[in-house]
Structure 1
Amino acid sequence: MSGGDLTTLLLEVFRRRAERLSPAEVMRRYGSDRFVAPAPTGFAALRRAEDTLVSALPDGFEVLVLAPVLPLAAHSAVATVDPRKVIATIRGSEVAADPTNALALEASARRSRALADDPRSSVVVRLAASQRVSRAQHFEGAGMLAHFQIFGLVTAGRDTGNRAFEYHQLNEHLRFAARAMAAAGAPETQIRLTCLEDASTPVAERMCADLAPLPGVSVLQDPGRTTGRGYYTGMCFKIFANVGGRQVEVGDGGFVDWSQRLLGNRKERLLISGFGVDRIADTLTPQTRPNQ
């Protein structure tokens, strides 16, 4: 069955199912479906956290308003995400599960246009967005939600040799994280770097030395990290905020090969970062904004 015929069939199936549902049944479903309940975090707290993150962005980042859905397989074709963790629609699309996937598509489209004008273009694309996302797997524990807000950043460009792209763009993302957490009220921010290949070790060592002077920031290497292997390439990181003597994970990121695969060009480079806005809003109190 073609994609168009399947969509037509499913639309008719769901039309008939919807016609049979009474208002009372819709009300019962609203009370039991974890995907449709309002967020437990208040609007004002989320807005303050978002404003703090946006204000901390380095110059050159463009903030986009993303669509709530992406093309089918946008999360699994290049990002190795199990399709069962994503909510598919009957129109050949899927509900956003992470803004970095959509940002990577847009960054790759822009890089594609730059490469059409100049096959050796080194134009750097910097994009950011805050998006409410849903994930289909069942989360256990406090603060584990079926839908939540993620503030995502991506930087796309071309390999310029000597891992210069990797160093400069990673430096920018990590300094953003430190600046944003300080503005959000974290007394201390910890950055944990994990090298996924030996060639990334010099970049990690240089990063630890360069970021060490930042007030309230500690940077360490975390070779024992297990999550993210097979998802990230080269190097990845986690961001923790010290809240009341405990380390709260607020961000995650690293290099991925998505733009290489989307554009069929091994010279392409892509760095992504994601920050949990709900978690920042619930555990930190934004007080001041950077550069004020």
Structure 2
Amino acid sequence: MTTRDWTTAGAGGEAALQALADLPGSVLTSFLLGLAERRARAREPADVLRQWESDTFTGLAAVDLRRLLRAELRLLTAASAFEAVELGPLAPLATCGSVGPVSQNNIVTTMRGTEVVSDSTNVLALECARRLRRDPDRPVRLATCQRVVRAQEVPRRPGYAHHFKLFALATAGRETRDHGFLVGAFVEHVRTLLAGFDELTQEGYTFGRRPIRLLATDARAAVADRIAEQLSPVVEVVRGPLDHPYYAGLRFTIEVLAPDGSVVPIADGGAFDWVARLTANRRLVFVASGLGTQLVVLLFGR
């Protein structure tokens, strides 16, 4: 385990940290819960209020709840081909880090072997894997709206916070001839998100140009060509190279022109190997995408 000096300073150093990490899960959980109980008893009500007022992980969202719910309902209406599911606020420890290059330092970890959900698509991958293990021939399409929490530094701009609302889509299933399943899922995600923008205009939202930036590795260039061919009649497609290891060769982004003239990267999606790794079945394809609903309400509404 590699750590920075400040993480163990004053607490016994690396040896103490490793000793705790080596404890059986139930023992470590009991130890941490006991520690939290002592620290909580030592706090005064004024301490709690002070944290509520200053801690960027807590506090109210920057949007009106009624507006947010109406926007989410519009997006879910556009995603009628997907089963709408409600996810819990917690996920198994390493839900993100076990399948992708994500540091656990960027995720809020609990004391009970879980983590606060930081990306709904990773949790949807778990549910897709669970269902496909039972029936690998039945494709899964899921949609959700969830408040997530991320611990990394956030831009100091209105609407950005450690906790925010995310609309997410996930599709998983067995690959078909000539990557037909992957191409179909990719196209469906993009079209669903674009339909979501159309739905939101009926709530008074205003969106300018919203081209699709389609990125692919050399190995996936031919697949990207087929995706672009199906999308180009309905939306502008801009091609580009992909060198990000987070994705399995294909990625798309939707950058929307906001009423103030700025260009906002509001949606992102791609192909991932998460379900294939979770199930140890390389033939299973997983496509996921997400849209920041909180930013939509703040930047594109009336």
TM-score (norm 1): 0.89
Question: Retained in 2: the 8 A contact 1:239–1:250?
Answer: yes
Write the distance in 2 (CA, Å) between the matches of 1:285 and 1:56.
18
Aligned with residue 106 of structure 2, among 59, 70, 85: 85
Matched, 1:183 2:195: no
User: Could you tell me how far 1:44 is from its partner in structure 2?
Assistant: 2.1
Q: Extract unaligned runs of 5+ from structure 2.
A: 1-22, 202-206
Question: Retained in 2: the 8 A contact 1:58–1:172?
Answer: no
- CA, structure 1 residues 259+127, in 2 after alignment: closer, same or farther (shift >3 Å)? same
Write the distance in 2 (CA, Å) between the matches of 1:171 and 1:31.
44
Matched, 1:211 2:231: yes
SS of match in other structure, 1:155: strand
Residue equivalent to 1:131: 146
Residue equivalent to 1:240: 255
CA RMSD of aligned residues (A): 1.5
User: Could you tell me how far 1:285 is from its partner in structure 2?
Assistant: 3.1
What does the per-residue CA deviation read over 1:102-152, in whole Å, with 9 as the maximum and x for residues that have no partner?
Answer: 11100100000114xxxxx2x210011110000111213203211001111
Matched, 1:32 2:54: yes
Write the distance in 2 (CA, Å) between the matches of 1:111 and 1:31.
45
Aligned with residue 290 of structure 2, among 274, 277, 287: 274
User: Could you tell me how far 1:58 is from its partner in structure 2?
Assistant: 4.0
User: What is the identity, as a one-letter code, of the residue corresponding to 1:56?
Assistant: A
Q: Which runs of 4+ in 1 moved over 6 A?
A: none
Aligned with residue 180 of structure 2, among 164, 180, 195: 164
Aligned with residue 70 of structure 1, among 91, 96, 104: 91
Aligned with residue 250 of structure 1, among 266, 272, 276: 266
Write the distance in 2 (CA, Å) between the matches of 1:281 and 1:253.
20
Number of equivalent positions = 273
Matched ranges for 1:80-119 at <5 A: 80-115=101-136
SS of match in other structure, 2:265: strand
User: Could you tell me how far 1:87 is from its partner in structure 2?
Assistant: 0.3
SS of match in other structure, 2:211: strand
Residue equivalent to 2:37: 15
Write the distance in 2 (CA, Å) between the matches of 1:47 and 1:41.
10
Write the distance in 2 (CA, Å) between the matches of 1:189 and 1:183.
15
TM-score (norm 2): 0.87
User: Could you tell me how far 1:249 is from its partner in structure 2?
Assistant: 1.1
Question: Retained in 2: the 8 A contact 1:45–1:282?
Answer: no
Question: Retained in 2: the 8 A contact 1:193–1:220?
Answer: yes
Residue equivalent to 2:245: 230
Q: Extract unaligned runs of 5+ from structure 1.
A: 116-120, 287-292
